[in-house]
Amino acid sequence: MNVLVLNAGSSSLKFQIIETDLDRISNHKDDRICRGEVERTGGEAIITFQYRQQPKRKLTASLRDITAALDYLVRFIASDDSGVEEIRSTADINAVGHRVVHGGERFTESALIDDQVLSGIEDCIDLAPLHNPNNIKGILAARELFGKNTPQVAVFDTSFHHSIPEYAFLYAIPYHLYRRYRVRRYGFHGTSHRYVAFCYRAIRGLTREQTNIITLHLGNGCSAAAIKQGNSVDTSMGMTPLEGLVMGTRSGDLDPAIISLIAAKEGLSASDVETMLNTQSGLLGISGLTNDMRELQSELKDHEDRRVRLAIEIFCYRARKYIGEYLAAMGGADAVVFTGGIGENSPDIRARICQNLEWAGLKIDSVRNHEMVGREGLISTDDSRLLAYAIPTDEELLIARDTVRVILGQPHPS
Ligand code: ADP
């Protein structure tokens, strides 16, 4: 089955086409045909495209919105120019899998999209006003292009965290706010946490029930998850992705009283401050330089910059605190798993985060740690009681697999 995986943002559309089916899933033989991204829709859009291992190509086209972007993209992929032999027309796309950010309390697993599911995703707009409307646009665009007979599946960022118990998802604020507005922790990056938990147990030959780990997704957005017996029992992002770890441009945890103080002092509205916490804070806010960890690290190598050093220190300290918090919450864990752009590629950050965790039985093996860049493997010493792994995430692959499983009515294996 050729599955088109879509991740529709406000002015971008990320895509992959993955050929997979139940046999391929069980033998890990999924075949990634092509991938890319359309950026800056609404004007002169830039299309990045890669067919298999061939070099990336850049194209430009005037594309007014997501519908135009999808139409252009599929037309291009099906044309001789793209070189994609597997896709000659829309009929060669058998299903579409969508990343949907917020599934609220309703969507505890991936869902075949019909009118009811679509209106359920619309009902969650209040919870993710910046994300769900774009995801809906992606779904409607695909429906228009492929017709109602091509099945579409929604895979939610939130659903892996549906197993978090009430005492961990409720905030200590008047209870009626939860009843009225569903104010609670939902958590995000669920597809990534679920995927690396699945890889971890495959590496170690464990069952789902034997999977007791802390996963750290450290990319531009960052989150931690406590996974006990294969289920998410706590996670660091909250009602929105703002809470928790220090991120590229997001503050993560902070005293909520700060919001009204900044608003009063700077003459801003509460929502202006929220935007500042989402877009001007985190690594960027502290360093005053960039949200990009790689750039911060190379800056620190070249010059001793106090704020760059601080940004990295605060980032690592917060991550370490969450490991400690989850070890206590879970009554201990067997491993810490690093993923996301930083978690997969930066031995230095992984080592800094794990500093002083010897008490918990975790010692990083420097050789292994430096070997595991962009690939999966153990990074702790043989005598560690708490293991550490680096495991590259692959959210698109999990979306394609879920799409197949949902269409064929197969239960979730993980
Ligand atoms: P997103 O959350 O947008 O998907 P990624 O998971 O790609 O982002 O992560 C982006 C982050 O990963 C950036 O801060 C980038 O600097 C960082 N990163 C990528 N490669 C490296 C590396 N080799 N060393 C340190 N950081 C890296």
Distance from residue 60's CA to the centre of ligand 1 (Å) = 25
Residue 412 has pLDDT above 70, yes or no: no
Q: Are 236 and 243 in contact (CB under 8 A)?
A: yes
pLDDT tens-digit profile of 208-236? 999 999 999 999 999 999 999 999 999 99
Q: Are 91 and 387 in contact (CB under 8 A)?
A: no
pLDDT at 24: 96
Q: What is the pLDDT of residues 150-208, one digit of tens each?
A: 999 999 999 999 999 999 999 999 999 999 999 999 999 999 999 999 999 999 999 99
Model pLDDT for residues 337-383, shown as the tens digit of each residue: 999 999 999 999 999 999 999 999 999 999 999 999 999 999 999 99
Query: Does 348 contact ligand 1 (Cβ within 6 A)?
Result: no
Print burial letters for 101-131: b (CB count within 10 Å at least 16), e (below 16). bbbbebbbbbbebeeebbebbeebbebbeeb
- Alpha carbons 368 and 25: distance in angstroms, whole number: 29
Q: Measured on CA atoms in the order 164, 212, 5, 50, is the torsion positive or negative?
A: positive
**C-beta separation of 319 from 343 below 8 A:** no
Compute the residue count for the chain: 414
For residue 168, the model assigns a pLDDT of 98
- C-alpha span between 343 and 327 (Å, rounded): 19
Q: What is the pLDDT of residues 392-407, one digit of tens each?
A: 999 999 999 999 999 9
Residue pair 102/159 in contact (Cβ under 8 Å)? The answer is no
Residue in 344, 371, 363, 375 with CA at minimum distance from that of residue 215: 344
202-208: list long-range contacts, CB under 8 Å, 24+ apart.
Answer: 203/376, 203/377, 203/389, 203/391, 208/413, 208/414
pLDDT in the model for residue 414: 56
Identify the pLDDT of residue 410. Answer: 83
Q: Is the CB of 282 under 6 A from ligand 1?
A: no
pLDDT, residue 279, reads: 95
Q: State the pLDDT at residue 367.
A: 98
The 10s digit of each residue's pLDDT in 66-84 is 999 999 999 999 999 999 9
CA of 363 to the centre of ligand 1 (A): 24
Instruction: Tell me the best of 346, 349, 350, 393 to mutate to test the pocket of ligand 1, counting ligand atoms within 8 Å of each CB and taking the most.
Output: 346
For ligand 1, whether the C-beta of 248 sits within 6 Å is yes
CA of 296 to the centre of ligand 1 (A): 11
pLDDT of residue 180: 96
Active site residues: 157
Type of residue found at 43: G
Say if ligand 1 is within 6 A of residue 347 CB: no
Q: What is the pLDDT of residue 60?
A: 96
**Rounded to an integer, what distance in angstroms lies between the CA atom of residue 308 and that of residue 310?**
5
| CA 221 – ligand 1 centroid, Å | 9
Taking only the tens place, the pLDDT of each residue in 282-340 is 999 999 999 999 999 999 999 989 999 999 999 999 999 999 999 999 999 999 999 99
Backbone phi, psi, residue 23, to 5°: -65, -50
Query: Mean pLDDT across the stretch 239-260?
Result: 97
